[in-house]
Structure 1
Amino acid sequence: MNRIWIIVVGFLLLTLLPFLACGPQLEALAMRFVTERPDPGQLAGALILLLGLDIFLPVPSSGLITYCGSQLGMSLTAVLATFGLTIGNACGYELARLWGTPLVEKFASENDRRMLARSFMNGGIPLVIISRPLPVLSEAVALLAGCATMPRSTFYPAAILSNAALGIIYSTLGSQYGDEPYFLWIVLSSMLIPLGMTWLARVMCGSSTSPVEVECSVENQNRE
């Protein structure tokens, strides 16, 4: 199973290359949006674009959605966030399905491939939904789902449902508290809390344990 995890980590590292190349420009753009009141059309387009590139760039999606909720309102932000997040999921899933599957077949053992496929056939929907608010893990699960050729008919409904829930929660937070003097702390908290949840999940599951291995372990215990 470690070889499959190495392939996924390799995909994630490749996604950092555009950020390393365009980091200063992206930082300047983000600062302009924070310090100035942006045009609503431009902000809506930036929201979709950045969330769609979340699989390739380390975008603080929770903080971004919260901020946009304060500028665009809850309803519009929730719809745009759901659309953008789903684009990001689709990019990761389809790229991994196209290029990750051959790598898994080449480098992973038969037992690892069966474990991966069984995990996403039996427990793929909970994995996709539960991992959605967790940075890095959500991208890893999308890539693993593609490598496992999880059926599109189950992956996309689970992704859309979890993305919609995330969009509604953070956009509501932004629209409700956008005018408060402590709003900046709310935005920062919306970014830091998911990171803390990711760290906690890794500690609880074990630093070397993947989501797939956790799912298979639970499945084996249930059988016993």
Structure 2
Amino acid sequence: MHIDAWIESVPPGAVYGLVALIIGLESLGIPLPGELALVAAGMVASKGTVNPVLVALCATAGAIIGDSIGYAIGRKGGKPLFEKLGRKFPRHFGPDHLATAERSFHRWGMWAVFFGRFIALLRIFAGPLAGALRMPYWKFLIANVLGGVIWAGGTTMAVYYIGKAVEQYLQSFSYIALALAAVGGLASGLVIKRRAAKARAEHPEAAPDPERVTAGE
């Protein structure tokens, strides 16, 4: 089962914890579809099943905490940790991916953590790589919190409002379609009636004689 279908199938109260767990694990460095989880949770919230603000808060908390744990793991394990992960999981932690992430960190510094939130490749590297490169924690924390709030919280609320707008549009569209159908039916009835009257006026001999009909002729 895909994560989006999984989130939609769990009890409403479990959505908060599930979203926080998925986002937290991805931020920790485990490749998971965090964006898909945020979109699914936002859509569930737009249906009124869960509170969008609580979903956004849980997602933000998961992002910040997960990234912080990843930072601690990276600081302790250093770059040899990534070399081991690259051998075991070359698809996600291969040398090319690591080199790309390192270049981003050397170029942008702490802002690589912030912008990494919006890029799937950097998102799983941000915390552990910041720790391995010995980035000062206070710099990491600022970028981590800002990125977590804007990415996790912002995405959830954006999807929620988009879902509500689409729902209202579709609802309004259904009413408009119903009204147009009613007007169209009325108009077509009037047109047919007018054409019938015009046809009787132009060809009176074709119209039945009421007296002859009554007399049974």
TM-score normalized by the length of structure 1: 0.54
Alignment map for 1:60-209 (pairs within 5 Å): 60-70=33-43, 71=45, 72-100=50-78, 123-178=108-163, 180=166
| Bigger relative contact order (CA 8 A; separation at least 6) | 1
User: Counterparts of 2:66 and 2:23 in 1: how far apart (Å)?
Assistant: 6
Q: State the Cα deviation string for residues 157-208 of structure 1 (Å, max 9, x = none).
A: 2111111001232112221233547xxxxxxxxxxxxxxxxxxxxxxxxxxx
Which of 48, 57, 60 aligns to 2:30? It is: 57
User: Counterparts of 1:103 and 1:32 in 2: how far apart (Å)?
Assistant: 32
* Ranges in structure 2 where 5+ consecutive residues have no aligned partner: 83-101, 168-217
Q: State the Cα deviation string for residues 65-113 of structure 1 (Å, max 9, x = none).
A: 1221232343222211110111221222111100115669xxxxxxxxx
The verdict on how the C-alpha distance between 1:152 and 1:40 changes in structure 2, with shifts beyond 3 A counting, is same
TM-score normalized by the length of structure 2: 0.55
User: Counterparts of 2:38 and 2:153 in 1: how far apart (Å)?
Assistant: 9
Residue 33 of structure 1, CA deviation: 3.0
Report the secondary structure of 2:157's partner residue.
Answer: helix
User: Counterparts of 1:81 and 1:153 in 2: how far apart (Å)?
Assistant: 22
Is 1:39 matched up with 2:17? no
Identity %: 25
Report the AA paired with residue 76 of structure 1.
L
Report the AA paired with residue 59 of structure 1.
L
Residue 150 of structure 1, CA deviation: 0.7
Q: State the Cα deviation string for residues 35-82 of structure 1 (Å, max 9, x = none).
A: x3x322211111111111113432221221122123234322221111
Report the secondary structure of 2:134's partner residue.
Answer: coil
* Ranges in structure 1 where 5+ consecutive residues have no aligned partner: 1-26, 105-115, 182-224
Q: Is the Cα–Cα contact under 8 Å of residues 78 and 171 in structure 1 kept in the other structure? A: yes
Q: Is the Cα–Cα contact under 8 Å of residues 124 and 155 in structure 1 kept in the other structure? A: no
Report the AA paired with residue 140 of structure 1.
F
Q: Is the Cα–Cα contact under 8 Å of residues 101 and 147 in structure 1 kept in the other structure? A: yes
The verdict on how the C-alpha distance between 1:145 and 1:57 changes in structure 2, with shifts beyond 3 A counting, is closer
Q: Is the Cα–Cα contact under 8 Å of residues 75 and 132 in structure 2 kept in the other structure? A: yes
Residue 123 of structure 1, CA deviation: 4.0
Report the AA paired with residue 138 of structure 1.
R
Report the secondary structure of 1:178's partner residue.
Answer: helix
Report the AA paired with residue 32 of structure 2.
V
The verdict on how the C-alpha distance between 1:73 and 1:178 changes in structure 2, with shifts beyond 3 A counting, is farther
Q: Is the Cα–Cα contact under 8 Å of residues 67 and 126 in structure 2 kept in the other structure? A: no
User: How many residues are treated as equivalent by the alignment?
Assistant: 139
Report the AA paired with residue 130 of structure 2.
A
User: Counterparts of 1:126 and 1:29 in 2: how far apart (Å)?
Assistant: 29
Q: Highest CA radius of gyration, 1 or 2?
A: 2
Report the secondary structure of 2:65's partner residue.
Answer: helix
Q: Is the Cα–Cα contact under 8 Å of residues 97 and 147 in structure 1 kept in the other structure? A: yes
